[in-house]
Structure 1
């Protein structure tokens, strides 16, 4: 019977009631996501890795040391007597010139660090946007569930009124059956909403690093927005993390190209060499050597290979520039779309609020006429469905407004 529809709802609530609740507000999201999101932690660790690779230039001024020792079995020569002897050699070298490759390597590593920083900012914005979207979806689903609870309760009252009319002989059993069928449909819809709510909570729990989504809840309401729509100006677009990632990659590719092209220059090292050779002269005296001089190194094959690689890096940089320009154009178009959509959604909110007021008035009028015997069950259910649809649209329109606003805000990396 209709008046028993509330029992399954109470059982569902009892089965899903958590032992404790973790209440989250909208303003809690930035700190929770930044502190607990796994992808943000991964991007932060990646940033630390690139930070450890800088600075690089200072170590190029440090000398290199080489030490070796060994023993060789000698043999008789027609002119010189050789014998088994102990050898050792010490060498120190200091780079004087290498075509600026160390300085360019420093710049390439700094570029990689800047790209990693931009990627962290982008990941933070993406994860925060996802958390904000699920937050508003959860708030919307909870509002819809409250709406369906009211509709189920109202349908129960209609069933009681229909039973009373049947007892007085002014209605038929079909009225009661219609209300029961409508109540069952509402209950089924509410169960689907509960499933969607559980899924949304599960996704939000992943984003904020919560261990138990069952005990997770949000504190928020879909009130009519009283603030002005977000205004994303060109200066805000300059902080877009995707643009910074593109620019960092372009700079890195250009510096890599310059670094590779510098291999055409030779390298000069100052070196000092001291040691004892592996032989002992015929007189039995150890012969020690000490050298001080300049060493020139130049690898033609590597220089030619690096020259081709340099051209390849420049081509990659140009390709990335084109992608950046395309991204800017698409971003500008997307911002225009969102900025046009937000005022429209705000206008639709006013229309939805007016429709809800009219549907409330219509339902009240039809319900009164049904109680007086002027209207039948089908007409009352039609008015109730119009009211339910109008209120649902208002909830969904308000939710979509906040979802669009969150999307627009995230484009500036906030």
Structure 2
């Protein structure tokens, strides 16, 4: 999810960096605040007291970062945020990455704003540059550094098994539960929210590293979860589901994978929809074949629960002027749409978005009862 700010061509792709030496200044972090979670995870906030920059410095270990602010009346529209990080293993500094801004509506986002998170891998140093937009800088600007911790060990008992159709139009894919990826349930809002039957599945990419071991996907998801809740102040992780590069489907927001849980993923259109995010940045990197396969299987099942044809279209009413459609406008969407269809963003990326027609076709075949080849092996 991301809006407003330009997207760096290498955003999230930490394996492809233009490196040059940088010396971390002997700077004391300005009044850092550290919030911990079960499993050893933490979020450290560093106020950007200078307003526009944070000199290179040594930090607590982290694997994901973002920039947030407190002022709900302002955003960084027209401006930019750039970060560079130091690898904890090699001690080499990355090139600059430009962050996307996030924007969500409803009770999840009562005020303030934040950039989309950037997965950096194990890091222990950071530098930040902020360029204000026409409206200037919002108040309470801060850098958020997330350590996902070790979480709970995934187990077969923590996966919803694949299930044959039972009155639905497509089988349920195997889904790793929140317990399976190690969600700390004490972080989220205990209240659960639901919407009407899911008639649109919005596809996203997480703007995180693309080349990762699938065994590390739970760490990435935990970090995104902590960022959405502890940094952004959302009720829970924004996405309803996530799919890793091996095609594994993960339960996102709590409330029941089979139920129409109200998410926070597509500004203006979180009602009667579900958001599924592919783990990675698909701007120049091509999604591995298991990614669209996993997206199709999930969409076919989820849409089938409401009797929505995956190859069909439906209408949703915008709830926000910040979307592509003014509040109150009725918009028509493909049943499987991209985030960019509803919002001014590049998401789900220039290489994943063109695959949506094929994903719709595959999902429709699954709904018709056709057998589809098994997902590519890990």
Comparing both structures, which one devotes a greater share of its residues to strand? 2
Q: If the TM-score is normalised by the length of the shorter chain, which range does it land in?
A: under 0.3
What's the TM-score, normalizing by structure 1?
0.18
Give the structure, 1 or 2, with the largest relative contact order (CA under 8 Å, sep 6 or more): 1
Comparing both structures, which one devotes a greater share of its residues to helix? 1
- Higher gyration radius (CA): 1
